[in-house]
Amino acid sequence: MKSIYTSLLAFVGLAAAVSKYDEYILAPKSRTIHPVAVYQDKINGTVIGASSLAGDSPGSAVFQGVSAVTYDFGVNIGGLVSLTIGNKTDTNQSIAVTYSESSQWISGVACDATQDSGMDEALWFYPQGPGVVSVDRQHERGGFRYLSLVHNTTGEIEVTEVTVDFTPSPTTEDLRNYTGFFHSDDELLNRIWYAGAYTIQMCAIDPTHGDALIHSEETNSSVPSDSTRPWSWYYNTTIANSSVVLVDGAKRDRLIWPGDMHVITPSMFVSISDDAAITNSIDNLFSLQNASGKLPYAGYPFKQDTYSATYHLYNLIGVSDYYKFTDDLEYVQKKWNAWKRGLNFSLGFIDETGLMNVTSPDDWLRFGQGGHNIEANAILYFTINEGLTLAAALNDSSIKSSWEKYATNIKESANNLLWNATAGLYRDNETTTLMPQDGNSWAVLANLTNNATQASAISNSLRSRWGPYGAPAVEADDAVSPFIGAFELEAHFRANNATAALELMRLEWGFMLDDPRMTNSTFIEGYAFDGATHYAPYTNDPRISHAHGWSTGPTAFLSQYIAGIQLVTAGGKTWKIAPKLGGLATAHAGFSTSVGVFEAYTNATSDGGVSIDFSTPVGSRGGIAVPYPSCGGILRMHEVEGRCKDVVLDIQTSANQTGDIEVEGLVGGDWQLRFKCAAAS
């Protein structure tokens, strides 16, 4: 039940000061980085003065005989390593470095992996005396928290400084100058928001340093390479012609994947707007569209003959995700013909049932993707609706009735053929009883569901499957996939259960920060239901990426659903402030779009009182939605600092009213809402 109040006021506002909570930002202050500690204070063999290299000033570490030490950078980083060799060095000495994102793969022999089997080779230096030695640019490493220095011969070598030139986000001048922020009274959630933002920064790369994937034909589980015979590796493939692109993972694949982009884009826009990183990536993917309208599964150099029904659609969704935050209609216009050809390509797979029949298995590496698959059809339903929104913005009515009909049929047919009311879930297709995480989450967030009861049933059923480390993807051998987990989070929000969404964030994303095998700074791409760092689709555990853009969903959701800043139309020309605290006492977020600066701060008191202060761009319009406080009392809302301080709302609520109080027709500016319980006043 909701009550709607309408107000139309002229207003000249002042933007509220944006406080930035900089202390949570994980990105480095300078691109020149030094280790912060010797990992676990352990030294193998004799290294005199090893700890003197931790910190920003030079020191002296003398490696004597066979010896090794592992340095910890405190957070996951990427870049080019240099060692300054000191003069306490014998002739004919060599020293190696090995990298690892996880503490699990620290080794004196090899790096963690970028290939389907084995590990990656160590890099050897043969300094001819004092001076600086650096890895060549093709051996920059995209992700590592731990760097081991290995000396394997008799004699002595002195290292006086270890530096890393941080190469991610190459076009960003100040890596800590975020355009958005988030803060709440839950420290774990605050850290999750900032780790998501930093993970995306790690995944923004110089496209001339993509992974060469040189052994992709040789490496598989039947051709093992062990750590004593590691594979060579290079980052020297140009994957796009631009200055920066967004890739799936910092260490690997270093490829542009449209599915990953759908999670990255909103999280990036609420934290570190980088329009170019997004449009460069979309442009690159669209340049690979073929004559039939088919869009790629992944960017170059991934083989281009693969068709994925879902990733094809994510290419299209990428354009509307970008438009939502930027209002850049000109960009959409340039892509529009290709977009329509792309959607028509998918519509060609719809059969007499009204559903798309998926004929190729490629998806996010789940099994059983085929036939009238619920996930693919929910994504198609979503994409058609996105297309209708874009078409309306472009005044293209040519496809309207045809696309609407397709959408209606998908919704009706999916509910008739695939909904199981007993389970409160959709099944994967009509020949199975498997009820997937991906399709059910997508069904709710795409509004394929017929009503709120059905959405709640799905939210509750998915929740009942959680284990101690997160939500399982039963369609991928119970892997915990933070990619599909992001869609589950959004499903809980859409089913109006913010509490469940926060609980899953703490469980799954909290584990991804705090477990000692994790980097405590960036999010891993997947792991096992029992918490093992094994990701079902891969045979090679050291290969798992620990900085994966598709795992950053919470950043967007905390800003949009918890702090409640929602862009209703492109760029936020119209908006809705709809905080749902999910049990928190405070939530404060802000971010900027081309339309202006948005900020909302909600504070709930333990007796049931609530206050919201928010600020939206002058010239924009919008409304608010706030749950009825549990106690009865007086709710007032008015503008602050404006010429016209009219109270737009002054109502008495009673205890235990359900649903939201909504106010519509507000103009952009600075607003205050105050609610006091009657008993407390």
Ligand X SMILES: *[C@@H]1O[C@H](CO)[C@@H](O)[C@H](O)[C@H]1NC(C)=O
Handedness of CA 456, 462, 467, 472 (dihedral sign): negative
Looking at residue 485, its amino acid is G
8 A C-beta contact, residue 440 and residue 401: no
The residue (of 221 and 431) whose beta carbon lies closer to ligand X is: 431
Phi then psi dihedrals of residue 433, to 5 deg: -105, 0
Q: How near is the Cβ of 633 to ligand X at its closest, in Å?
A: 24
The residue (of 425 and 612) whose beta carbon lies closer to ligand X is: 425
Return the half-sphere exposure (C-beta side, CA atoms, 13 A cut-off) of residue 275.
Answer: 11
363 DSSP assignment: S
Q: Taking phi first (over 0 means left), then psi (-120 to 50 degrees means alpha), and beta for anything else, what does residue 155 get?
A: left
Handedness of CA 328, 333, 335, 338 (dihedral sign): positive
Q: How near is the Cβ of 650 to ligand X at its closest, in Å?
A: 30
Sequence-ordered list of residues with C-beta below 8 angstroms from that of 20, at least 6 positions apart, any chain? 178, 181
Q: How near is the Cβ of 206 to ligand X at its closest, in Å?
A: 14
The residue (of 286 and 297) whose beta carbon lies closer to ligand X is: 297
The residue (of 286 and 469) whose beta carbon lies closer to ligand X is: 469
Q: How near is the Cβ of 583 to ligand X at its closest, in Å?
A: 9
Biggest CA pair distance of the chain = 85
- The CA distance from 305 to 524, in Å, is 28
In sequence order, the β-bridge partners of residue 610 are 604, 675
The residue (of 59 and 665) whose beta carbon lies closer to ligand X is: 59
Q: Taking phi first (over 0 means left), then psi (-120 to 50 degrees means alpha), and beta for anything else, what does residue 315 get?
A: alpha
Q: How near is the Cβ of 96 to ligand X at its closest, in Å?
A: 5
The residue (of 449 and 642) whose beta carbon lies closer to ligand X is: 449
The residue (of 360 and 586) whose beta carbon lies closer to ligand X is: 360
Q: How near is the Cβ of 429 to ligand X at its closest, in Å?
A: 4
Return the half-sphere exposure (C-beta side, CA atoms, 13 A cut-off) of residue 102.
Answer: 25
Q: How near is the Cβ of 232 to ligand X at its closest, in Å?
A: 8
The residue (of 124 and 646) whose beta carbon lies closer to ligand X is: 124
8 A C-beta contact, residue 363 and residue 372: no
Residue numbers at the binding site for ligand X (CB under 6 A): 44, 68, 70, 86-87, 96, 106-109, 122, 138, 148, 150, 152, 174, 177, 179, 191, 212, 228, 234, 236-237, 351, 357, 359, 368, 370-372, 415, 419-423, 427-429, 431-434, 447, 450-451, 453-454, 456, 460, 475, 497, 499-500, 503, 520
Reduce the DSSP state of residue 581 to 3 states and report it: coil
Q: How near is the Cβ of 249 to ligand X at its closest, in Å?
A: 19
8 A C-beta contact, residue 508 and residue 467: no
